[in-house]
Structure 1
Amino acid sequence: MDQGGAPPVFSARAEIDGDHLQVVVAGEVDTATADTMLQAALREPAERITLDLSAVTFFDSAAIHALVRLAQQFSGTLTVLPSRQVRRVLEISGLGEQSWLRPT
């Protein structure tokens, strides 16, 4: 149902500092945007990645899949900073205790 509001804004911005890549994601990460988040994290070669999801308002199964792919590729070097919503989705999906997930 169209409620006349503006569509949710999504952004994924990557910044590299030496061997550390920080990807800042905002808005809704879903089927339409999860691959964009993943590609932003894979665009630059990096040894360590911080995925800042603190401004994410919605996170679906496609987003979880992209996040798991990143965790596999950057095993031991990925840090995820979740929003409250992202943490809740990860807890429900059984990923709430992963070593890469930081407290909110």
Structure 2
Amino acid sequence: MEHTTKDNTIAVSGTLDGRCTAELRDRLRRALAEHDLVVLDLTDVESVDVTTLKLLAAASRTAQRQGRRLVLRGASSGVRRLLHLSHLRGLVALEPTPRLPV
């Protein structure tokens, strides 16, 4: 996993799996301590495993308890499908996907 941070947005790329959860958890914790809204940009993420999705759901719940929000941007259809199949979709806020002109 690689990441860049600008203001309240953390852009990650590569593979998000159990090997990067500690680093991602720390980044999210710091960002949520500084901002009421944190956007995690997944646009350049190649794959995500269920361990990472559980981390995102837990971070989202923690943020809500603190009166803050975590929103996922650029979640691919595969990530959205995995959120649905793992029953975590209701726990994680997704930024709406822009519709392409017809």
Task: Identify whether the pair has TM-score above 0.5, normalized to the shorter chain.
Answer: yes
Contact 1:35/1:66 (8 A) holds in 2: no
Q: Where does structure 1 differ by over 4 angstroms across 4 or more consecutive aligned residues?
A: none
Contact 2:60/2:92 (8 A) holds in 1: no
1:65 aligns with 2:54: yes
Q: Return the structure number with greater relative CO, CA threshold 8 A, min gap 6.
A: 2
Report the TM-score when normalising by structure 1: 0.73
Alignment of 1:40-59 (within 5 A): 40-44=27-31, 45-59=34-48
Identity across matched positions, percent: 23
Larger relative helix fraction: 2
d(CA) in 2 for partners of 1:34 and 1:86? 16
Gaps of 5+ in 2: 98-102
2:87 alignment partner in structure 1? 94
Higher gyration radius (CA) = 1
Q: 1:27 to 1:99 in 2, by over 3 A?
A: closer
Gaps of 5+ in 1: 1-9
Report the TM-score when normalising by structure 2: 0.75
SS in 2 for 1:27: strand
Cα-Cα RMSD: 1.9
Amino acid paired to 1:68: A
Q: 1:36 to 1:11 in 2, by over 3 A?
A: same
SS in 2 for 1:91: helix
